[in-house]
Structure 1
Amino acid sequence: MPWQLHKTVVMVGMMGAGKTAIGTALARRLGVPFLDSDEEIVKAANMTIAEIFERDGEPFFRRKETQVIGRLLETECCILSTGGGAFLSEENRKMISERGVSVWLKADIHLLWNRVKHKDTRPLLRTPDPYKTLCEIYEARVPLYAKADLTVQSRPDYSVEAMTDTVIEALSTRPDVLSKR
């Protein structure tokens, strides 16, 4: 591996931004583990996120999410993908910034909609007008995502590999996070 990762990289952004796909490719490229906070919550609760939302509500889910992210930030350096709402919490942003580095995968609303409109795994989009809901969520979250340590612009014509290259370029501007071996 030509790179040495010094801090956990936390992928943040909207549903459909590519946090899992890019995070997985990035972890493979850097030779570090890939973890997904939503997957860890599902494992711990033994239920889907939609089921947790339905049974216990979003506030309960958000508390569990903060606990899981805190635990994952204590493990070895890795690439950590978070749910779209994780970075909205000031507590989470502070914890991520202190122990890792946040990378916002910034995608425009049309790209996001094209990626999520055919999936029924998004509990927040189970509304009469999912596109309108996505737009409202986007407008509310963008100012908070903009607080990420690094921002990488997503483009519809980028492959996963090209996007991964762009993220590595952004990370390499931070020698405290990523350096050449």
Structure 2
Amino acid sequence: MQRTRNIFLIGPMGAGKTTLGRKLAAILGLNFYDSDEAIISRTGVDIATIFDIEGEAGFREREMRVLDELTQLDGVVVATGGGAVLRSENRERLSARGKVIYLTVPIELQLRRTRRDRQRPLLQTTDPRERLISLQREREPLYRSIADMEIDTSSNDSRRVIQDLVKQLSDPG
């Protein structure tokens, strides 16, 4: 399958996928989609409610269907949920249908960026730091397995991160 002009952002929660994705799409003149926002729009409820009613398995099924649709579009930047890489179907579709960019972020910064967010069901635990470490251990090899490039988002300077990203995207090497 020929690669399209699609860019898929993967990485852990708090890496900046949505924030950077919106800015990147605007700069490149592409349409932006956030897979979690698409799920919320279609169901009419937040992610935490889906987890409460259907569990993580139900959410992951919805996520897989939404990602299948979004990755078939052309000329898009898609911010995926942090766990999107857990399903092999998602990894295969992301890899085959566009350029995959893994946004990295240290655990301590993830904690700071997500500490007030009550809409992240996987962090509703007594030890969010340990949960993030566990998620990283499980998901990082999956992120790396499909990433065409990695971008460190720890600088908190989204303008600089976007400049670096655009430069790397335009580099033919």
Structure 2 length as normaliser, TM-score?
Answer: 0.92
User: 1:178 corresponds to which residue?
Assistant: none
Structure 1 residue runs without a partner (length 5+): 176-181
- Tell me how far apart the structure 1 counterparts of residues 142 and 168 of structure 2 sit (CA, whole Å): 19
Instruction: Tell me which stretches of 4 or more aligned residues in structure 1 moved more than 3 Å.
Output: none
- Tell me how far apart the structure 2 counterparts of residues 125 and 100 of structure 1 sit (CA, whole Å): 30
User: 2:69 corresponds to which residue?
Assistant: 71
Q: What per-residue deviation string (whole Å, max 9, x for no partner) do you get for residues 80-116 of structure 1?
A: 0011000222111111111111100011111111111
Structure 2 residue runs without a partner (length 5+): none
SS for the counterpart of 1:21 is: helix
- Tell me how far apart the structure 2 counterparts of residues 164 and 130 of structure 1 sit (CA, whole Å): 28
User: 2:24 corresponds to which residue?
Assistant: 26
- Tell me how far apart the structure 2 counterparts of residues 130 and 72 of structure 1 sit (CA, whole Å): 30
Q: What per-residue deviation string (whole Å, max 9, x for no partner) do you get for residues 124-177 of structure 1?
A: 000111111111112211111112121112223x411111111112222358xx
Q: Which amino acid aligns with 2:18?
A: T
The equivalences for 1:49-68 within 5 A come to: 49-68=47-66
Evaluate the alpha carbon distance shift between residue 95 and residue 174 of structure 1 in structure 2; reply closer, same or farther with a 3 A threshold.
Answer: farther
Q: What per-residue deviation string (whole Å, max 9, x for no partner) do you get for residues 27-80 of structure 1?
A: 111111110110111111111110001101111111111110111112231110
The equivalences for 1:1-181 within 5 A come to: 6-147=4-145, 148-156=147-155, 158-174=156-172
SS for the counterpart of 2:150 is: strand
SS for the counterpart of 1:105 is: strand
Count of matched residue positions in the alignment of Structure 1 and Structure 2: 170
Is the contact made by 2:107 and 2:129 (CA closer than 8 Å) also made in structure 1? no
User: Which deviates further from its counterpart, 10-19 or 66-75?
Assistant: 66-75
Bigger helix share:
2
What is the identity percentage for the equivalent residue pairs of Structure 1 and Structure 2?
Answer: 36
- Tell me how far apart the structure 1 counterparts of residues 136 and 114 of structure 2 sit (CA, whole Å): 13
SS for the counterpart of 1:57 is: helix
Q: CA deviation at 1:122?
A: 0.8
Q: CA deviation at 1:118?
A: 2.0
User: 1:179 corresponds to which residue?
Assistant: none
RMSD after superposition: 1.6
